[in-house]
């Protein structure tokens, strides 16, 4: 009986190995070598151009819907005021560029001239750097983590995040969290919202006497508003938002004024300082709003710009955008720069753990098949020299653990497969 069972096993071995190799080939297509990032950012592209390639949720939805026709089915898009990037699996970078530009205002020819494309470990390193705030316009800006989570959640809900990227992103977020807690890279208060307040403090005298209008109370608008109150110690602030209830709620929370969108022209006329954080797809403040209405400092925190370009031609208007704000350097940023080597060490550690997981994952079909075969053999009492069925769980797991180490180092699937079976049978025979 023992011989018949072993003959049966040996006869099916070539089929098992063929299936294992097919499974490994499938996994390999979604591995480090196939991972790409393609994008533009503030380093090479000014805000006016970046705005042409900004992706809102509606555009994101459309891109996901047509992605399979471009041969892409696992990716996510990160679009912020500083960057538009697509991360995922593709045969070439051109696929990703063509896909993302199907929904942008800007032309693909412009994107191709300005874009960077990174593949494999370079792409993975870039993602870790971005998530840590090491690639941000303002070093250590931790808001990017929330933006990555939102972008990934959007893609995952529509079936575009697989096992490889799930694990990669978990590693990325763990690394980012470790950097946040173990270094001072994000120490102090430096962000676009804070930089706007710093600019006002440095360039506007007697700011407590000035009338401030904040247009837009989304995340950036809320942060800016709280910084205005905390650091400028002023309550002369009026809030306007497209959805008036949101402006009213924030105004009540901070004991400020609010106005409906219909009063925008009148509010602009009275304001000395205007901060714009609406993130609309086109300008919401035009030259006619400002002409002849006194000197004003306008800080546009939106990408694309939400203040019309001809407004800055007016002699009574000083217009500042996010690119200019990003140049603000202070002691906080200098302290953060000293933390960069520590952050890179943490990233290196987490990437190595991820690479180790990838190596193990490559051989997952082998380990799964061997475990299945050992469980089958457990039921053959004659082979195991046992008068009745017994629980082999611990011994099976021991064999699998040993096999996992061997296949990673020796990379000989067939021999390791047979060796694991023999080891298990030999162990069971020796125990009887």
Whether the ω angle into residue 190 lies within 30 degrees of 0, i.e. cis, is: no
> According to the model, what pLDDT value does residue 394 have?
74
Question: By C-alpha distance, which of 354, 356, 357, 362 is closest to 128?
Answer: 354
For 412, the 3-state DSSP assignment is: coil
Residue 294 has which token pair?
């006194």
> According to the model, what pLDDT value does residue 183 have?
95
For every one of its 432 residues, what pLDDT tens digit does the chain have, with 9 covering 90 and above? 444 444 444 444 444 445 444 444 444 457 899 999 999 998 989 878 998 999 999 999 999 999 999 999 999 999 988 899 999 999 999 999 999 999 999 999 999 999 999 999 999 999 999 999 999 887 888 789 999 999 999 999 999 999 999 999 999 999 999 999 999 998 765 677 888 888 898 888 888 889 999 999 888 888 889 888 888 888 899 999 989 999 999 999 989 999 999 999 999 999 999 999 887 888 888 988 888 888 989 999 888 888 888 888 888 989 988 888 877 666 678 888 999 999 999 999 999 999 988 877 776 666 667 777 777 777 664 444 454 445 677 777 777 677 666 666 655 554 555 555 556 555 554 555
> According to the model, what pLDDT value does residue 115 have?
97
Angle (CA) 294 299 272, round 5°: 30
pTM for the full predicted model: 0.65
> According to the model, what pLDDT value does residue 55 have?
95
> According to the model, what pLDDT value does residue 374 have?
73
> According to the model, what pLDDT value does residue 2 have?
44
Return the number of other C-beta atoms located less than 10 Å from residue 237's C-beta: 23
> According to the model, what pLDDT value does residue 76 have?
98
Question: By C-alpha distance, which of 157, 158, 156 is closest to 167?
Answer: 156
> According to the model, what pLDDT value does residue 248 have?
94
> According to the model, what pLDDT value does residue 219 have?
85
> According to the model, what pLDDT value does residue 432 have?
52
Instruction: Please provide the size of the chain in residues.
Output: 432
> According to the model, what pLDDT value does residue 127 have?
98
> According to the model, what pLDDT value does residue 11 have?
41
> According to the model, what pLDDT value does residue 157 have?
97
Q: Annotated active-site positions, please? A: 81
CA-only gyration radius of the chain, Å: 29
């Amino acid at each position: 009986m023992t011989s018949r069972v072993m003959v049966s096993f040996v006869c099916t071995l070539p089929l098992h190995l063929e299936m294992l190799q097919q499974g490994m080939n499938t996994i390999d297509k979604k591995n480090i070598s196939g991972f790409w990032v393609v994008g533009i950012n503030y380093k090479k592209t000014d805000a006016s151009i970046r705005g042409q390639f900004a992706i809102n949720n509606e555009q994101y939805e459309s891109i996901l819907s047509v992605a399979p026709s471009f041969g892409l089915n696992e990716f996510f898009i990160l679009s912020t005021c500083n960057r538009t990037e697509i991360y995922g699996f593709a045969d070439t970078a051109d696929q990703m560029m063509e896909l993302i530009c199907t929904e942008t205002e800007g032309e693909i020819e412009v994107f191709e001239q300005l874009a960077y494309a990174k593949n494999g470990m370079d792409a993975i390193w870039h993602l870790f750097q971005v998530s840590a705030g090491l690639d941000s316009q303002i070093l250590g800006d931790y808001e990017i983590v929330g933006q990555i989570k939102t972008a990934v959640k959007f893609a995952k809900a529509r079936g575009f995040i697989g096992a490889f990227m799930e694990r990669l992103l978990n590693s990325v977020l763990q690394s980012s969290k470790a950097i946040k807690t173990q270094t001072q890279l994000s120490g102090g208060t430096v962000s676009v919202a804070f930089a706007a307040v710093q600019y006002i403090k440095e360039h506007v005298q007697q700011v407590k006497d000035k009338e401030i209008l904040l247009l837009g109370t989304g995340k950036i608008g809320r942060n800016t508003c709280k910084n205005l109150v905390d650091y400028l110690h002023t309550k002369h602030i009026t809030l306007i938002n497209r959805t008036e209830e949101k402006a009213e709620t924030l105004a009540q929370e901070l004991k400020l004024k609010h106005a409906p969108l219909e009063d925008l022209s009148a509010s602009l006329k009275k304001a000395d300082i205007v901060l714009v954080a609406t993130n609309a797809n086109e300008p919401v403040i035009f030259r006619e709003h400002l002409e002849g209405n006194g000197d004003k400092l306008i800080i546009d925190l939106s990408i694309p710009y939400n203040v019309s370009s001809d407004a800055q031609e007016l002699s009574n208007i000083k217009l500042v955008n996010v690119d200019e704000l990003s140049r603000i350097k202070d002691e906080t940023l200098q302290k953060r720069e000293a933390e960069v080597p520590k952050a890179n060490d943490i990233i290196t550690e987490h990437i190595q753990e991820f690479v180790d997981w990838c190596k193990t994952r490559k051989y997952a079909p082998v380990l799964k098949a061997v475990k299945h075969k050992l469980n089958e053999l457990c039921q053959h009492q004659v082979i195991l020299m046992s008068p009745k069925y017994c629980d082999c769980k611990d011994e099976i797991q021991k064999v699998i653990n040993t096999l996992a180490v061997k296949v990673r180092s020796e990379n000989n699937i067939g021999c390791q497969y047979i060796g694991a079976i023999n080891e298990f049978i030999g162990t069971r025979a020796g125990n009887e």
